[in-house]
Amino acid sequence: MMRRALFVAGLLGAAPAAAATDPTLATLQATLKEAQAQLAGLREPDPAYFVAYSVVEHRALNIQGSHGAHAGVVPERVRSVDVDLRLGSMQLDSTHKIRDESFFTAAGRPHWITGFEGASDPLRRLLLRATDDAYRAARARLLKVRSNEAVKVAREDDSDDYSPAPAVQREAPAPTLTVDVAAWSALTKAVSAVYLEYPEIYDSAVQLVVTEDDRWIVNNEGTAVVDGFRHLRVATWAETVADDGMGLSVYDYVDVGSTARLPDQARVEAMARAVAERTVALRHAPVIEPWTGPAILRGRAAGVFFHEIFGHRIEGHRQKDEDEGQTFTRRVGQPILPPFLSVLDDPTQAQLAGEDLNGHYAVDDEGVAAERVTLVDKGVLESFLMSRAPVAGFPRSNGHGRRQPGNDIVPRQGNLMVQAEGTVPYAELRKRLLAEIVRQKKPWGLVFDDISGGFTFTGRSTPNSFAVQPVTVWRVYADGRPDELVRGVDLIGTPLTTFARILAAGGEVEVFNGTCGAESGWVPVSASSPSLLVQEVEVQRREKGNDRPPLTPPPGAHP
């Protein structure tokens, strides 16, 4: 066990040097200069007016316990390279959307993996190779862009393809995380044994996932960034199958940004026990039918709800893309939410309500300083999340250009925060729910405690609906009966209708930390909100499995 601990400590100890002369940064800068000189020497009519190199070294360590045993330690280390090259001019360049482009002729974006050690020349050669590939691909694409512009009707939004941004110089390597692998192997093993006390839980695990991402960005405008992202997640999950074949899974976790904030064994054990109790309770909970009526979305659930149905619709590129539904494109300056609600996105904020925020960063993936953006002020739409690709009325980036390595950058959410004026204590919000149930002559209402995730359609070719998947839903009766845990529903709807029905906000602000997947890959995000009372929500039956529970009891279970 000690040998493994030392090995992992060594692995995680590979953070970039704190000195100003970071060797990777130096290689990127020197190679960019070399590439620029070569590109200039080609004397082609269309210049490569923008070239950026980005390197991300991702190191992860997954320590897992399962069924009371040590399940293994899985390290991961990969160093990705992205080359962003634009040919033409900021007004019209090689990245411009080709309208009605066939899926089969659209060129994929190459993703490069490079060595995570050793001399600089392998990285230099790979960067030059990737630059060459990107240049030749851009040259071919710009021809198509121009012919597409000539053939198609005028664009609704004729803003430029790219915008200037001040050069950023930032050398702030993230500190190395030191994890006691032996101790966490013992902890995850010990806590995983909790689930053995619950024969109706079939599969389960407890894990610590440690992530260190180091990042280097340079571009031909003088930007040079060295920084990193540190993240630790202690998570536990349990699975069962209800007698009707519905697979049920409960997941809980704690996200922190430093080892000092990791929970102790007692807290992880309490978390596992709560997950176990909830899983078993869900197995015996009744399934509810499709329904409409009043509901409360508790803080974390409300955060995810806003992330899905609002956040993705105010990403800048969707306001320009004529294949998108553009729900809010022409609503700037108009009310879209009740006047007591404001929404902002602030990647510069590291903590909220005592929790580390997953969407915290200082500089985005285009090398632009992150900004706190007020998206909705007292119900009125003010702004969009912007990368360096402008849209009409929003000519510059506000530092939200993000991606998972290997993808094109688009504007994404960071820390989405729903803020409310005139909030009431949660008990009062609940009283208002009960009153709303009575007013609507409904037998009951719903409280959504937690939501595991969701999805939304924003394009024009599909209905602009959303679906979010609650984990814990309570049926609340107006006649004083105790709340009842229910299962088997998804929360569905369309955004504009749903926003119009938010009646009140209350209780503490809660934070949902997660990872969001979209066009530019998976990026860490958070969403926070107080609880929200909604006049009417709609739920539909959830897709369910049909497998019988295991035919024999678990090994070691007492009959």
- Contacts with other proteins, residue ranges (CB under 8 A): 35, 38-39, 42, 66-75, 77-79, 113-119, 121-126, 128-129, 131-132, 135-136, 189, 196, 202-203, 547-548, 550-552, 554-556
Taking the least distance from each CB to other proteins, the nearer of 66 and 397 is 66
Q: Which residue in 322, 301, 324 sits closest to 312, CA to CA?
A: 324
Phi, psi of 367 (to 5 degrees): 80, 25
Query: Residue 354's CB: how many other CB atoms inside 10 A?
Result: 7
Beta carbon of residue 209, minimum distance to other proteins (angstroms, whole number): 16
Beta carbon of residue 71, minimum distance to other proteins (angstroms, whole number): 5
Beta carbon of residue 94, minimum distance to other proteins (angstroms, whole number): 14
Beta carbon of residue 509, minimum distance to other proteins (angstroms, whole number): 40
Is 516 strand, coil or helix?
A: strand
Is 373 strand, coil or helix?
A: strand
Beta carbon of residue 404, minimum distance to other proteins (angstroms, whole number): 18
Q: Please tell me the distance from the alpha carbon of residue 36 to that of residue 47, in angstroms, as a whole number.
A: 10
User: Residue 360 gets which letter from DSSP?
Assistant: -
Taking the least distance from each CB to other proteins, the nearer of 47 and 379 is 47
Taking the least distance from each CB to other proteins, the nearer of 125 and 541 is 125
Angle (CA) 44 89 134, round 5°: 60
Taking the least distance from each CB to other proteins, the nearer of 127 and 502 is 127
Max Cα separation, the chain? Answer: 81
Taking the least distance from each CB to other proteins, the nearer of 196 and 500 is 196
Phi, psi of 65 (to 5 degrees): -120, 145
Taking the least distance from each CB to other proteins, the nearer of 18 and 40 is 40
C-alpha dihedral (194, 237, 298, 333), degrees to nearest 10: 160
Beta carbon of residue 126, minimum distance to other proteins (angstroms, whole number): 8
Taking the least distance from each CB to other proteins, the nearer of 123 and 476 is 123
List CB contacts of 554: < 8 A, sequence separation 6 or more: 196, 199, 202
8 A C-beta contact, residue 486 and residue 475: yes
141: its two tokens:
């694409």
What is the b/e burial string over 511-526, where b = at least 16 CB atoms within 10 angstroms of the residue's CB? bbbbebebebbebbbb
Beta carbon of residue 420, minimum distance to other proteins (angstroms, whole number): 45
Taking the least distance from each CB to other proteins, the nearer of 136 and 330 is 136
Phi, psi of 509 (to 5 degrees): -75, 130
Beta carbon of residue 211, minimum distance to other proteins (angstroms, whole number): 17
Beta carbon of residue 536, minimum distance to other proteins (angstroms, whole number): 40
Q: Which residue in 147, 272, 171 sits closest to 223, CA to CA?
A: 171
Taking the least distance from each CB to other proteins, the nearer of 39 and 417 is 39
239: its two tokens:
């699975």
